[in-house]
Chains A and B, each alone.
Chain A
Amino acid sequence: MSFLDYINYDKNEKRRSREIKVSQLPKRRSGIDEPFLVLVLLLLLIGLVCLYSASYVDGYYKKDMSPYSYVLKQGIFALMGLGLMMIVSGFDYHKFHYFAIPLMVASTALLASIKVVPSMWVTINKATRWINLGFTNFQPSEITKFAFILFFSSWATIQGPKKMKRFMYGIFPFFAITGVTALCLYWQPHLSATVTIAAIGLIIIFLGGASLFWLLSIGGVGFAGIVGYLLTHKYAMNRIKVWFDPFSDFRNDGWQGAQSLLSIASGGLGGLGLGQGRQKHLYLPEPANDFIFSVICEELGFFGAMLILTLFAALIIRGYYIASKAPDRFGTLLVAGVTTQIAVQTIFNVGVVTGLLPVTGASLPFFSYGGTSLMMLLAEVGVVLCVSRYRKPEDELRDRDRKGR
């Protein structure tokens, strides 16, 4: 039984580690992937500059803040995150197998604590997403994202492609665990995190070999379910209507979306200039967070926005490239998971602010204000860099690929 297998992981892993060591481990350790690191640092730097521009107005208008409040705090977390990144990148990622279950259990317990010790949790804008650590608030769902990456990578590795094809190994655990997590997140509530987490898990089991037939049929059923729900619920239909035309309900539900579109369009080709945006003056909601990309579009224009998007696309492609060059399935899936997280969050965020997706709060990686999420993100980048160190030189891989065929 594979579940038992999993519980007896330690025993199995020792055996496997041996196998890996013998047959799979790269002959020599190459350096970390520099293009990926450079892209991350570039995005982080540009992100901080944009955050300052987007947030100083908000800080200025708030009673107990200064224009620098946001960017200083974010800068400190960025430095801490970079340190964490360097530390993580130095590990042997195979050891991460050991944390797959404990981290999953711990993060789920943390999420479930909202029902056990609600006093620990902090509510902002009707959503209870944060645990108060005293010096800062932190989002447990950020941990959950990595817990998913780690767990499903590990699971898919252990089960192997053949078992993953079967419903009980490939699809069922994903739905079971995602279901529990989704329930916990529903209590917060936090839709965008649920979608991100589900997407991460889904991509990993997809890469891990889950049956396309099952994925497509379940995807089809899910899609039909969502459409059915929308058609039968007036409220939901209204949300959809506002999504397609936010100006139809400009003063109320459409406000956020409409203001975002106005900001983006106001930028034109060249933008108003860094710091010169007008919409952030209390028109745009959350200019330092969910709608930071609207501010960027307004200030840097189409060209500036495209430059940043290109950097993101490059980072994502490079991420998947690193994944494809990883020495083993676990490495591939880990890197693909982290890259998928960055991709999903980026696409989700930009999709929302440009009106391609309905409005839900989703943050833009490296840009949006948020200490724990930035630190977690950089730590995950550390995982990618860690895996990248074990990559084999190009030619060697190509040779082996040929042999494989």
Chain B
Amino acid sequence: MSRRADSSMRRRLFFVTAVFGVVCFVIIAVRLFYLQVIKYDEYQQRAISQQMRDKVIEASRGTIYDRNLKPLAISAGTEMVTLEAVKIDSEEEGLLIAKTLSEILELDYDSVLEKIQAKGTYTVVKKNVEKGVADKVREFVKENKLDSIYMVDDTTRYYPYGSFLSHTLGFVGSDNQGLYGLEAYYDETLSGVDGRVVKATNAKGGEMPFEYEMYYDAEDGHSLVLTIDEVIQHYLEKNLEMAYADNKVAEHVTGIIMDVNTGAILGMANKPDFDLNEPFTIVDRNKVTEIEAIEDEEARKKARSDALTTQWLNSAVTYAYYPGSTFKIVTASSALEENVITVDTGFYCPGYRQVHDRKIGCWKHAGHGQQNLVDALKNSCNPAFMEIGSRLGKDAFYKYFEAFGLKEKTGIDLPGEMSGNIWAYDDMNDVDLAVASFGQNFEITPLQMITAVSAVANGGNLVRPHLVERIIDSDGNTVSTTETQVVRQVISKETSELMCDMLEQVVTYGTGKNAYVVGYRVAGKTGTTEKIAEQIREGRDDLRVSSFIAFAPADDPQIAVLVLLDEPTVQPVTGGVTVAPVIRRIMEDVLPYLGIEPIYTEAEEKKMDTTVPNMTGMTKAQAEQTARSAGLSVRVVGSGGTVTSQIPSYSSSVSRSSQVVIYMGGKPPQNTVVVPDLTGLGVSAVRSRLGQLGLYYKSSGTEYATGNIVARRQDIQPGTEVPAGTVVSVEFSDLNQVSQ
């Protein structure tokens, strides 16, 4: 028997050779041809696209400056820590990473661990990590030779002044996209264009040693220079804050300061406000408690988001109210312009006016009797204005309402602006016209109101309000400048001048008395309205919006100021008592800052506070002479040759005709006194109370006007112990100004 391969074996061997040596290789060759030649383009594209990685180079977001180039919103370079959890080799390594990262980045350990265990390929661990902290992470990565943690360049928006100008500036989201306010309105301008680098990378995103790189430059965003003046805004916010607290305002306060000639907004604020660096934190603690108490998760979420929306609301432009008596400025201007009345037209007020079957009352039930136009404004008399409204007629009223821009948005550069809400022309009847004449039953925004009044003040031009003065590029070159935009001339220069004069009288002698600023000519008008819809809904009758609109100087108007208190709760709540002093304080701060020189009348000069001169070292006669020339009287204690000490001390500001005590030898007694509560006391009572205690006072407000003048505020709180001779600042208001 043959041991050699028999023919059957060789046949089979041939078969195996054919299959393994030829057929299989032919199949493979065909397959390779298919992949490398036919599918080449498609697969090569795919391979290239997975090897090429785009790295975004974030454009730096522009800065927002105030008009004096003080930065209000800036972008700082930070880093983002990201995790490629699939690359974590072992469980221990994962635990170490969770522990270390949560410590360095101040994160919750469990949430970091969760991200690690999710085994993702790209997870953001923390954004906005500062350089120093990022360096610590880098060190940890290096020490442990980790390949799962990467740092990505990032930028963070930072607001150096926190809540300052919050509603107007707005804020950005986590990707630096503008979400609110100017940040949102000018998002495109500010954000610039991101650049990118395209380069070949290995599967872990590291660089591959084959050379391919393309670079597209980032275009940095432009910066905004606002019309807002940081100092003026500060004064506005300080005073609004005070008004919000003093009057225990239930809803909010809003204030706008505008350049009447250009429409530039110098200040715009609402209280309460929020910290721009933490916009998603609800500020109102009661609200937080209230929300946390909600059981249902959906409802809680909704309540939270509602609360935030309310918190962010810029009431200056996205809130409408009944303007009330401040609107009489518009009614009077329109009527004068239409020549349906003159300054000498007489109006009789019996305390009401009959309109068809309706008897509409004046706030003063006894009536104002016979008045001319100035009196009607000073008295804020409703029947007189109903008469003016009816003389004007529905057509003209509607025409001027539109001409003053109250039916349209002002066009300010802020998102979400509202426009006024008034009856459709055809629906407006005589009663509507009558109440509209004194600003009731239709809504406008505070910004519309101040824009309309600015037109009255500036010679008749309705200007478009704006917040951005110019846009500059990253090198500081001006890209564009906002020009003053006159929408239309609404009233003549003559009418405007008449109105300025009359409105100044409202402040000097009328319901706006409490806004009077010594040395300045302030014009303005009070307004108080009932929140009728809310009152009906809540079954109350005490919900008010008190407001005051003013401009100065009356002979050459520069700025207009509107302050509005939504639901003040400290009685009385009229614009004349509640808001006018706020206007006065703002004017006192802002007018000197703007470089407008005070001009005092003779009477004012006599009554002005005086600065205590230095008398130490003088003889008695010299001291008496010096004090007298400063308008002060002197009481002498001791019998030495020269003045050794004086109370109050040198350079204190005190009320004129105060008495200075000089010590001739020996020291003044070092006793302390408790500051009394002065609120509600009249001027002379305040003077004697303080005098008895050995305290001095200096006054502000309407001390020298006639009327029901009482102390409303004092700068040193009652109960405070102070050294004798300390000067207490007391602010007076005329409580009679309770008109609507």
Contacts and interface: CB of A to CB of B under 8 A. Distances in A.
B46 A262 contact: yes
Q: Which of B1, B32, B145 has the most CB of A within 10 A?
A: B32
Nearest to B204: A282
B4 A320 contact: no
B interface majority secondary structure: helix
Given A206-B16, A278-B208, A278-B210, A264 B32 contact: yes
B13 interface: yes
A336 B16 contact: yes
Nearest to B39: A265
A320 B12 contact: no
B593 interface: no
A281 B39 contact: no
B44 A209 contact: no
A157 interface: yes
A208 interface: yes
Nearest to B208: A281
Interface in B1-20: 1-10, 12-14, 16-17, 20
Contacts of A74: none
A6 to B, nearest CB: 17
B688 interface: no
B422 to A, nearest CB: 60
B31 A266 contact: no
A327 B4 contact: yes
Contacts of B46: 262
B25 A309 contact: yes
A339 B33 CA distance: 26
A327 B43 CA distance: 50
A189 interface: no
Nearest to B49: A262
Interface residues of A, number: 64
Contacts of A310: 25
A19 B46 CA distance: 65
Nearest to B31: A354
B3 A306 contact: no
B20 A340 contact: yes
Given A329-B5, A343-B21, 4 more contacts: A264-B36, A269-B36, A281-B203, A302-B33
B4 A347 contact: no
Contacts of A283: 50-51, 202-203
Contacts of A282: 202-204
B12 A313 contact: no
Contact of B47 (A279, A305, A356): A279
B24 A347 contact: yes
Contact of A268 (B6, B37, B200): B37
A278 B47 contact: yes
A261 B13 CA distance: 33
A263 interface: yes
Contact of A157 (B3, B20, B22): B3
B27 interface: yes
Contacts of B145: 63
A404 to B, nearest CB: 7
Interface string A294-317: 000100011001100110110011
Interface of A: 16, 19-20, 23-24, 61, 63, 157, 160-161, 203, 206-209, 261-269, 276, 278-279, 281-283, 297, 301-302, 305-306, 309-310, 312-313, 316-317, 320-321, 323-324, 326-330, 332, 336, 339-340, 343-344, 347, 350-351, 354-356, 404-405
A301 B44 CA distance: 12
B45 to A, nearest CB: 10
26 contacts: A24-B4, A161-B6, A161-B9, A209-B6, A262-B50, A265-B40, A265-B44, A278-B210, A281-B201, A282-B204, A283-B50, A302-B32, A313-B21, A313-B22, A317-B22, A321-B17, A324-B5, A324-B14, A328-B3, A330-B3, A340-B16, A343-B21, A347-B25, A350-B28, A356-B28, A404-B2
Given A267-B36, A343-B21, A332 B31 contact: no
A266 B50 CA distance: 12
B740 to A, nearest CB: 71
A316 B17 CA distance: 8
A356 B28 CA distance: 8
Given A207-B13, A278-B210, A266 B20 contact: no
Contacts of B366: none
A309 B47 contact: no
Given A281-B203, A297-B32, A320 B13 contact: yes
B9 A332 contact: yes
B96 interface: no
B487 interface: no
A160 B44 CA distance: 55
B208 A262 contact: no
B28 A354 contact: yes
A343 B21 CA distance: 7
Q: Which of B22, B42, B44 has the most CB of A within 10 A?
A: B44
A321 B8 CA distance: 15
A297 B4 CA distance: 42
A314 B8 CA distance: 24
Given A266-B43, A340-B20, A347-B20, A161 B4 contact: no
B35 interface: yes
Contacts of B22: 313, 317
A321 B37 CA distance: 33
Contacts of B40: 265-266, 268-269
Interface in B205-230: 208, 210
A262 B43 contact: yes
Nearest to A271: B36
